[in-house]
Amino acid sequence: MYRISTFLQYLSVLISIKSCYKILETAKKIQAELIVIGSRNPGMKTYLLGSTASSVVSYAESSVLVVG
């Protein structure tokens, strides 16, 4: 059971990284001035913000609006 849980956490991180990369790549391609992204629980740091939203906020070249 532990191995399955670890695998799912690893898979979740990989999906988040890919999602972040695609969002930032598209925003740069269309020269977006604002990226709007949803969050599960806005107001808290990375743990509750979600890894995709947190990564987009950290690495975006344009402004980011996080909505909950």
- With cut-offs at 50, 70 and 90, classify the pLDDT of residue 15: confident
| Residue 21, helix vs strand vs coil | helix
pLDDT value at position 50?
66
Angle (nearest 5°) at CA 19 between 61 and 27? 35
- With cut-offs at 50, 70 and 90, classify the pLDDT of residue 11: low
Whole-number Å distance between alpha carbons of 17 and 20: 5
